[in-house]
């Protein structure tokens, strides 16, 4: 069949609906049904597999079952390091130095070129090695039928049409179609996020099993339909490889380099103009050709922030170490350290990230159907003083009798077993005593056709045998519901004869389902007699104990949190409600609308459910391309990997699959989202350090360019290039400890806005230049010895004067970091000891050089005078900085109070030992207490924030922090289809709260 109709099969099985094509989920299902019909024409022929010749032909046509590597030659990587604005400027400076015969400067600049190239080459090779690791992830073997004989071959050798044998524990190596054998239980959690395994083949899911899933139970022969990048997961991995093919550059770094390029362009024009002025107008070509070239060289060198890449690398390396040790986050892409500080939206997976990834029965919400049934099953029921509690105990005990006690890892039976253990812990000996009155004789396991388990149970007090069934509610009420099945026992519960009973059960089942719960129905009957419906056991994957408060903290830090999950829509909505996220969760197929409408839906929704891997990636890309947002993505499964790779801040949570870790920029080593918030705080402090250094470096560059240019144009005084090189090196090397500087985390996403960066740097640079110009004009007034009045001897140009100019600029530039780094007045913000020592040591060395090393040196009196002048200038420049902030950014948000968060975490306490266990009905249960306290803290945070605001004066806050307002929280409401959805105000009063939270009016009080 495959040989006859290969294109038909490929068009149906290989292709996934893509964005912009308007393909609906119904079309995809219709294609799968058509595929099943087509495949049934010649199953026996396909069962024999391919011949070696056919396999070789397919290999030529489709290629190996792997992701093709994107190879970049080493020599190209090396050469690329010498291309770009900064390298080219340094290379031009080398050439000018050589032409002028200034060999000391030539070798110093050449060393700078080589060091920068080595740093860039290192980053490129890290990206290349990550790519090689990604391409090796599919290496494994599998049994394949070739030439009619089963053989073990590498999965990379599989081609469409091969027949393979899958069994329990096997990882599906390609997109395959079930042919014959057992009904397979397939764990699709890594692909869809669903905690419950799917059954293949089935009417609901068909026969097509996607690559990346795991076989939980059963053995079967399957035929390969798509391999490599033609699979759903393979296409996503190809996208990941494209993302990882080159070294990543953060948004912040891109904007910084844009500003650097602007400054360098201005410097080039300035150098050309200086050559024209000095060479032509002042006769420099004839009298001093070398001096003219060196004057232009000094301008070019002064424009290049030579150590900028080095300082950025050191700062991020130290930041990465802090992330790993303090916040349990391992950084795999350094750019993420900057990008996460700018993160506007966090798209979070649900299962395993927001939730515990373990199904749990809500003991509070167990629904017992009729009171009189328990007297028929348990003759001791009349002794109970609390009939409702007794009904729930009996219902759960019968659920235990219909479960396999050895299957604690099973999603359903494990949930029932854990629920019973917790009920015993919370309710004393009564449940255990009740269970001792029954003994399971045999059990027929779950079958996807009959959708129930059936057990024979002996009632010990009279040795009567009971039939206990648990499963889908409609099948437990009436086994003929949906059509006669192949179950050995068929029945219709006696209560169904009561008018309206079945409708009542179905209504309750629908209500629980709408609230996000999966239900287990339980029925019991004496063998040979009618069955009786006992009730429903509601199950849900509960949120982690700290998810709610972490989500709230992220929102208060200006980060919008969206849920993107492969799980069912109603479950996603209920989980969002429980953790305080936006509840306007939409079906995943709406991400495929395409165009502006589709992007608008993605932006305004609270998230999406039942998504495919490409849908998650499209959500990330839409937010990036249409709204220019910095997007974060958390996840743990194969289905999350394409989106993790596309996001600027891809975060793989603890116990993530290898595919997710390879795609992510950051890997968490602790559970849940709390580490993400810690990473946000730390990254914003890293951003503050980088911004302070970059703004300082740009200001120093502007000062050098502006001041030196004024000296040349107005006073015909040029500084020796060696002075400029030493100035750049000293100021950059001493700034390396900025990576350890004390900084505060801003309460809003930190974006490197070009206008603000340029404006802030120009303010500092211009006022620094004014201060230096004042010093130059005052040199002949006694500030520097041996300088005659400019009225008699002209403006100072001597070597002694150049020493004084160099020392003044060098010390002033060192002091400038104290103003650049402080959000308010510099003396309110204490720098780190390392930065303070390094800066002052640099000033001492500069002073010693000016006094003892240079020709025509300064004396100590002159050096002390220059120190005093620069300290006074620092105060003046700092006042100018505050004036700029007041005019342009006085409405900036406040800071994140880490001390307050630490107190809240201490009050919240440690993670409860029974997190993920069923929820007990009593308030003193450990997990309930922890989860309730986490939500109470949200209200307390707001109260404390209001009192703090009333206690602190706005003007003092501006002087100390440079900021006057609290974080502005963007609206989480969205209008979709003329219906307004808003963030849930609290738990549903209709069903109660899974975690016994306080009322929503307390949680989200204004």
Closest CA to 709 of 257, 269, 76, 117: 269
- Cis previous bond, 478, omega within 30: no
Nearest residue to 633 via CA among 666, 671, 592: 666
- C-alpha to C-alpha distance for 1004 and 992, rounded to whole angstroms: 17
Q: Which two three-digit tokens encode residue 916?
A: 């993920």
Whole-number Å distance between alpha carbons of 90 and 93: 5
- 859 among known catalytic residues: no
93's tokens:
């400076």
d(CA 793, CA 799): 15
Which candidate, 738, 758, 760, 761, places its Cα nearest to that of 688? 738
Using left for φ > 0, alpha for ψ between -120 and 50, and beta otherwise, residue 411 falls in alpha
Nearest to 723 by CA among 780, 797, 807, 816: 807
Strand, coil or helix: 462: coil
**Cα gap 537→414, rounded to integer Å:** 13
Neighbouring residues of 905: CB distance < 8 A, sequence distance ≥ 6: none
DSSP string, 96-162: HHHHHT-HHHHHHHHHHHHHHHHHHHHHHHHHHHHHHHHHTTT--EEEEEETTEEEEEEGGG--TT-
E strand residue ranges, 170-233: 175-181, 184-187, 198-200, 208-209, 214-217, 219-226
How does DSSP assign 924-984, residue by residue?
Answer: T-HHHHHHHHHHHHHHHHHHHHHHHHHHS-HHHHHHHHS--SPPPPPP--EEETTEEE-B-
Residue burial 804-819, b: 16+ Cβ < 10 Å; e: rest: bbbbbbbbbbbbbbbb
345: which strand partners?
Answer: 560, 631
**CA neighbours closer than 13 Å in the CB half-sphere of residue 447:** 12
Q: How many CB atoms lie within 10 A of CB 153?
A: 16
Residues recorded for the chain: 1006
Quick check: 322 and 685 in contact, CB under 8 A? no
Q: Alpha-carbon dihedral of residues 570, 571, 573, 576, nearest 10 degrees?
A: 180
Q: Say if residues 309 and 261 touch (Cβ distance below 8 Å).
A: no
Q: Largest alpha-carbon pair distance within the chain? A: 125
User: How far is Cα 729 from Cα 768, in angstroms, rounded to an integer?
Assistant: 19
Helices 289-303/251-275 angle, 10° precision: 160
Exactly one of 162, 270, 339, 349 is catalytic; name it. 349
- The pair phi, psi for residue 752, each rounded to 5°, is -80, 80
619-622 contact pairs (CB < 8 A, 24+): 619/347, 619/562, 619/564, 619/591, 619/643, 620/347, 620/646, 620/647, 621/646, 622/591, 622/598
Burial of 496 from C-beta contacts in 10 A (0-12 / 13-18 / 19+): middle
Cα 71 to Cα 66, 77, 127, 129, 245: the distances in Å are 15, 11, 12, 11, 8
DSSP H stretches of helix in 584-638: 595-604, 613-627
Residues designated as active site: 349
């Amino acid at each position: 069949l495959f040989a006859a109709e290969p294109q038909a099969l490929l068009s149906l099985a290989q292709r996934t609906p893509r964005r912009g094509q308007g393909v609906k989920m119904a079309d995809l299902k219709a294609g799968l049904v058509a595929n099943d019909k087509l495949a049934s024409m010649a199953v026996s022929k396909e069962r024999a597999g391919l011949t070696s010749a056919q396999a070789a032909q397919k290999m030529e046509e489709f290629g190996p079952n792997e992701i093709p590597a994107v190879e970049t030659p080493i020599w190209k990587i090396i050469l690329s390091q010498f291309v770009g604005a900064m390298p080219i400027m340094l290379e031009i400076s080398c050439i000018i130095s050589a032409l002028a015969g200034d060999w000391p400067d030539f070798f110093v600049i050449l060393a700078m070129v080589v060091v920068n190239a080595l740093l860039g080459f290192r980053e490129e090779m890290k990206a290349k090695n990550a790519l090689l690791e990604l391409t090796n992830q599919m290496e494994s073997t599998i049994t394949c039928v070739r030439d009619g004989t089963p053989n073990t071959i590498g999965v990379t050798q599989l081609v469409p049409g091969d027949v393979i044998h899958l069994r329990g524990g096997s990882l599906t190596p390609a997109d395959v179609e079930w042919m014959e054998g057992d009904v397979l239980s397939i764990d699709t959690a890594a692909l869809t996020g669903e905690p419950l395994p799917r059954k293949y083949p089935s009417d609901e899911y068909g026969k097509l099993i996607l690559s990346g899933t795991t076989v939980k139970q059963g053995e079967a022969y399957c035929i390969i339909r798509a391999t490599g990048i033609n699979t759903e997961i393979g296409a996503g991995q190809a996208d990941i490889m494209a993302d990882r093919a080159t070294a990543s550059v953060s948004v912040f770094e891109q904007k910084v380099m844009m500003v650097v390029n602007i400054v360098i362009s201005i410097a080039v024009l300035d150098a050309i103009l200086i050559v024209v002025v000095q060479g032509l107008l002042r006769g420099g070509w004839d009298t001093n050709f070398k001096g003219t070239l060196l004057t232009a060289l000094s301008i070019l060198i002064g424009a290049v922030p030579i150590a900028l890449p080095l300082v950025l690398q050191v700062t991020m390396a130290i930041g990465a170490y802090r992330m790993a040790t303090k916040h349990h986050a391992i950084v795999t892409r350094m750019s993420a350290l900057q990008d996460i500080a700018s993160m506007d939206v966090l798209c979070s997976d649900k299962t395993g990230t927001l939730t515990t990834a373990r199904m749990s029965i809500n003991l509070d919400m167990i629904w017992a159907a009729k009171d009189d049934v328990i007297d028929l099953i348990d003759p001791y029921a009349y002794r109970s003083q609390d009939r409702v509690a007794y009904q729930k105990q009996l219902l759960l005990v019968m659920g235990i009798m219909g479960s396999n006690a050895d299957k604690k890892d099973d999603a359903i039976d494990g949930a029932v077993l854990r629920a019973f253990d917790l009920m015993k812990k919370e309710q004393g000996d009564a449940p255990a005593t009740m269970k001792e009155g029954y003994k399971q004789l045999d059990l027929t396991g779950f079958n996807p056709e009959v959708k129930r388990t059936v057990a024979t149970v002996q009632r010990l007090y009279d040795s009567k045998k009971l039939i206990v069934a648990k499963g889908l509610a409609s099948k437990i009420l009436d086994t003929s519901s949906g059509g006669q099945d192949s179950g050995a026992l068929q029945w219709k519960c006696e209560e169904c004869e009561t008018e309206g009973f079945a409708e009542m059960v179905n209504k309750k089942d629908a209500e629980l389902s709408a609230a996000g719960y999966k239900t287990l129905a339980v029925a019991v009957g004496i063998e040979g007699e009618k069955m009786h419906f006992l009730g429903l056991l509601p199950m849900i994957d509960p949120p982690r104990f700290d998810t709610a408060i972490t989500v709230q903290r992220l929102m208060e830090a200006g980060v919008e949190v969206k849920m993107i999950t492969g799980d069912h829509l109603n479950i996603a909505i209920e989980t969002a409600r429980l953790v305080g996220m936006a509840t306007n969760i939409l079906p995943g197929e709406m991400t495929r609308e395409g165009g502006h409408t589709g992007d608008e839906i993605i932006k305004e929704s609270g998230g999406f459910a039942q998504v495919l891997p490409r849908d998650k990636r499209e959500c990330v890309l839409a937010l990036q391309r249409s709204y220019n947002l910095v997007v974060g993505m958390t996840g743990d499964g194969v289905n999350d990997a394409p989106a993790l790779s596309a996001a600027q801040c891809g975060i793989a949570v603890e116990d993530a699959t290898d595919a997710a870790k390879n795609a992510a920029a950051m890997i968490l080593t602790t559970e849940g989202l709390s580490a993400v918030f810690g990473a946000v705080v730390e990254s914003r402090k890293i951003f503050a350090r980088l911004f302070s250094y970059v703004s300082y470096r740009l200001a120093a560059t502007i000062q050098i360019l502006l001041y030196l240019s004024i000296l040349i144009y107005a006073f015909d005084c040029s500084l020796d290039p060696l002075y400029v090189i030493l100035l750049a090196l000293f100021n950059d090397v001493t700034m390396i400890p900025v990576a350890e500087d004390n900084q505060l985390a801003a309460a809003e996403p930190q974006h490197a806005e070009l206008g603000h960066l340029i404006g802030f740097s120009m303010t500092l640079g211009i006022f620094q230049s004014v201060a230096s110009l004042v010093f130059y004009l005052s040199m002949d007034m006694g500030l520097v010895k041996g300088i005659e009045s400019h009225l008699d001897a002209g403006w100072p140009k001597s070597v002694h004067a150049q020493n004084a100019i160099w020392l003044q600029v060098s010390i002033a530039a060192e002091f400038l970091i104290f103003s650049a780094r402080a959000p308010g007045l510099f003396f309110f913000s204490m720098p780190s000891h390392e930065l303070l020592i390094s800066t002052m040591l640099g000033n001492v060395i500069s002073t010693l050089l000016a006094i003892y090393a240079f020709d025509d040196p300064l004396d100590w009196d002159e050096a002390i005078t220059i120190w005093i002048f620069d300290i006074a200038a620092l105060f003046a420049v700092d006042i100018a900085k505050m004036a700029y902030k007041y005019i342009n950014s006085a409405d900036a948000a406040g800071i994140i109070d880490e001390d307050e968060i630490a107190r809240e975490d201490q009050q919240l306490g440690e993670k409860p030992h029974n997190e993920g266990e069923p929820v007990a009905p009593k308030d003193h249960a450990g997990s309930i207490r922890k989860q309730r306290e986490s939500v109470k803290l949200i209200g307390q945070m707001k109260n404390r924030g209001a009192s703090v605001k009333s206690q602190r004066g706005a003007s003092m806050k501006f002087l100390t922090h440079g900021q006057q307002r609290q974080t502005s929280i963007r609206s989480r409401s969205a209008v979709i289809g003329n219906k307004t959805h808003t963030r849930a105000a609290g738990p549903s009063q209709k069903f109660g709260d899974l975690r016994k939270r306080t009322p929503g009016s307390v949680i989200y009080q204004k």
